[in-house]
Structure 1
Amino acid sequence: MSGNGLVSSIRRLINANEQQRAPGPFHQLGQQMVDVLGDGGILKKVIQPGEGPPVPQNASVLMHYSGYLEYADRPFETTTHHKYPQMLKLGRELTLTGLELGLLTMQKGEFSRFLFQPQYAYGELGCPRLIPGAATVLYEVHVLDFFDSGQVDNFVGMSPEEQNTWPLSTLLEVVTTVRSFGNRFFKQSRFEYAKDRYKQGMTLLGNRDVQNDAEMEKIKKALLPLYLNLSLTELRLERPHKALKYSNKALEIDSKNTKALFRCGQAYLELHEYESAQNCLITAQEKRPFDFDINNLLRKVAMCHKDSLDKQKDLYSKMFRHLRN
């Protein structure tokens, strides 16, 4: 071994010994953190505060997270490279005890760092080839959104008779959460999943035994966005007949709803029923004369209608010419 190689080896040994004696970076981070449980097993520091209530038990949480070992430059696991943030169900899809307990202290929009001692992380055995035994790990967690799916699971698990014993406010909360799930699937272009969630909300509202006119109005108010969302989802799934069905259901609740009229116009355009499309869009335009989308679609419908008439005229001209010949 050369002199330089021996010196390098000695320096590495000295550095390793110094690291063992000196407090490591996790220890220094821990000095600035809050003890979540009081036993030192989960330490937390809020980097970016959130707002609203904390994540409830059994919620479904939409989040990004990254896990680090001490002295490591790169995470041993991360979700930040995913096209869509992960949505994980607490009590079912999270295997790290510390992460689940930490999430219950977080709010929507919050970004925090956690230090998990081995008993709240990977234990004395660790995870071979990835996590050494008895390792303390650092997690950076960003909660983008969460849904109280525990409440939904409990409510959906009841019979319609049992559901009717609960106050209407509970039903409306559950339907709002179900629709939020649908909206999340829609944004991810998972239209079949979105459609199923919206229809689940419709079913829950349809099972309700309405007691008076005031309750009926609240049911209709909750149904309207579901019909509108279903109409748009069916358009994305290239099912204009079904889109038209749900648009008309929305118009039965609110005959001047511009979104419903616009969806009807879109569906009729796909069905090549240009006059019906124009009628819906002109009615919508009367209510919102400067709406770009309505005016743009009206121009498109007018062009398609003209092209259709020109083709018909050309076809009839050829037919008559053939008869004369």
Structure 2
Amino acid sequence: MESVFQEPVQLSKGINLNELMTTATEFHLDMDFKKKQNGMSINMDDDFFPDMDDDSDEEDVLKNIEDSADKLMLSSPEYLSFDELAKRMIDCIPSGEVKMLIIEEGDGPLVPVDAEVTLHFAAYWEKTNIPFDSTLTMNRGMPMTLRLGKRKILPGLEIGLTMVHGPTARFHLLLEPAAAWGPQGVPPRIRPERALFVISLYSVSDVHAGDRFNDLPMEQQKKFEVTIKTVNGLYTSAKDLFSKKKFKKAIKNYQQAISVLNVSRPETEAEEGEIKKLKITAYINLALCYCKIDKPKYAMNMCENLDRISNLDSHCKGLFYYGRAHHMIGKHEEALVYYRKALKLEPKNRDIGKALADLDQYLKRSAKKEKEIWQNAFQSAPEEKKEKVVYAVDEDFQNGVREMCKDLAERSEYAKFDLPTGLTNDEVDCIKGLVSDFEGLVVQEDGEGKRKKVSIIKKMS
């Protein structure tokens, strides 16, 4: 029987935490579980990793877990005892069953009781270096996402999570058995002892902030404190959605935030200033989200709304997204104007500089291409190569006419050369063809038949 528990046992059915803590629970083990897996017969003596030393397998696994915990700052603190550690902690509840030590304070509001959180944790018994439970060995080593308020995680863990500021934080929780798996534990793996949870919180999504606001009476909704709490929750959730590329859902959160801000009734100038800042943030982030889902006209509308409450020219991001929206609809010259204004506010901003450089290059290439198109459109068609004409006259006649034409073409004044009468039609055609090769020369014909007079005239240039 002992050999069965030398390796972890995979339960065929999940454990209901509520039943585990409040009722008697029996576990039935299939002693042949090693021989069954997905309907296949497996010989556990087979060497699946021939390059590994069997004796060191367990040590390697534990060493990897320890290294991963250290790398992700989930290592057990080197205290002599939990009693010594408890002296440095604060009580999360009056009974002292849940104690907390903040290692790195998070930013943002307190984690809501019904939030969705993403975290890594490692749980240790006293004076141990290897966690007996950890997200490092679950979910392929990725952080785990949990929904609070559903009674699906340890009570003490949930209490501690709702007493830190999110979306990021690092802290330790020391849980008494009653606040964890229950006074009896879950033998043999879970002892009825205190356990230390080392936790890194990565993100918080306040998925119900809008719903809680809508459930309030109108007078409560107008209060500044309610506005700030609700909007911060909506912004935190929207930021998380944006990071997951869920842009349309993020847009809904920002739109609801603006509705909440419009309902608010601030009582002091400081409160009015805070409301205005939050509206500016909403409009800028909405412009970005609309650009992400290829709706530039909506993005432009958000920037124009921003301009109504605060001069757009004083907001670098607003100008940048306004420029991008113009760029997306093909208004490149306008885009250049807004990009340049944005860069003037933040000369070292690489994103703006790159967008400006890319657009500038695009416009130069477009101008060059347009110039080539117009040049091709107006360019004269190439002259057709004349075919060599064979005239029915002797070569001496042709050479004589050609020399005469050359002499006349070189003259700068008006000149006329009368050819003898009695020329044949072939000779006249030859003269006309040869004269056409010289600029400024024309053939003049007078009369008919044998009395026809043919002259070559040099026109004044």
| Residue pairs, 1:39-188, within 5 angstroms | 41-42=97-98, 44=99, 46=101, 48=103, 50=105, 55=110, 58=113, 60=115, 61=117, 63-68=119-124, 73-78=130-135, 85-86=143-144, 88-92=146-150, 94-106=152-164, 109-117=169-177, 119-123=178-182, 132=190, 137-143=195-201, 153-158=211-216, 161-164=218-221, 166-188=222-244
Q: Secondary structure at the match of 2:84?
A: coil
- Whole-Å separation in 1 of the counterparts to 2:199 and 2:235: 25
- Whole-Å separation in 2 of the counterparts to 1:167 and 1:228: 24
- Name the counterpart of 1:14: none
The answer to whether the 8 A contact 1:266-1:277 is kept is: yes
Change (3 A) 1:214 1:64: closer
**Following TM superposition, by how much is the alpha carbon of 1:281 offset from its aligned partner in structure 2, in angstroms?**
2.0
Are 1:193 and 2:259 matched, yes or no? no
Aligned equivalent of 1:31, options 52, 77, 83: 83
Change (3 A) 1:261 1:84: farther
Change (3 A) 1:199 1:52: closer
Change (3 A) 1:323 1:74: farther
The answer to whether the 8 A contact 2:209-2:230 is kept is: yes
Aligned length: 294
**Following TM superposition, by how much is the alpha carbon of 1:219 offset from its aligned partner in structure 2, in angstroms?**
4.2
Are 1:251 and 2:310 matched, yes or no? no
Flag the structure with higher helix content. Answer: 1
TM-score, normalised to structure 1, is 0.69
- Whole-Å separation in 1 of the counterparts to 2:373 and 2:246: 42
CA root-mean-square deviation: 4.3
The answer to whether the 8 A contact 2:97-2:179 is kept is: yes
- Whole-Å separation in 1 of the counterparts to 2:333 and 2:157: 58
Aligned equivalent of 2:325, options 267, 276, 299: 267
- Name the counterpart of 1:227: 283
The percentage of aligned residue pairs carrying the same residue is 23
Q: Secondary structure at the match of 1:266?
A: helix
The answer to whether the 8 A contact 1:202-1:223 is kept is: yes
Are 1:299 and 2:357 matched, yes or no? yes
The answer to whether the 8 A contact 1:54-1:105 is kept is: no
The answer to whether the 8 A contact 1:46-1:110 is kept is: no
Q: Secondary structure at the match of 1:277?
A: helix
Answer with 290-299 or 32-41: which moved more.
32-41
Unaligned runs of 5+ in 1: 1-27
**Following TM superposition, by how much is the alpha carbon of 1:309 offset from its aligned partner in structure 2, in angstroms?**
2.5
The answer to whether the 8 A contact 1:243-1:264 is kept is: yes
Q: Secondary structure at the match of 1:32?
A: helix
**Following TM superposition, by how much is the alpha carbon of 1:313 offset from its aligned partner in structure 2, in angstroms?**
3.2
- Whole-Å separation in 1 of the counterparts to 2:287 and 2:142: 24
- Whole-Å separation in 2 of the counterparts to 1:54 and 1:227: 22
Task: Kindly provide the amino acid, as one letter, of the partner of residue 178 in structure 1.
Answer: L
The answer to whether the 8 A contact 2:223-2:265 is kept is: no
Change (3 A) 1:307 1:126: farther
- Whole-Å separation in 2 of the counterparts to 1:66 and 1:91: 21
Q: Secondary structure at the match of 2:197?
A: strand
The answer to whether the 8 A contact 2:332-2:359 is kept is: yes
**Following TM superposition, by how much is the alpha carbon of 1:183 offset from its aligned partner in structure 2, in angstroms?**
1.9
- Whole-Å separation in 1 of the counterparts to 2:180 and 2:136: 18
- Whole-Å separation in 1 of the counterparts to 2:259 and 2:153: 33
TM-score, normalised to structure 2, is 0.51
Task: Kindly provide the amino acid, as one letter, of the partner of residue 34 in structure 1.
Answer: A
**Following TM superposition, by how much is the alpha carbon of 1:76 offset from its aligned partner in structure 2, in angstroms?**
3.1
- Name the counterpart of 2:431: none
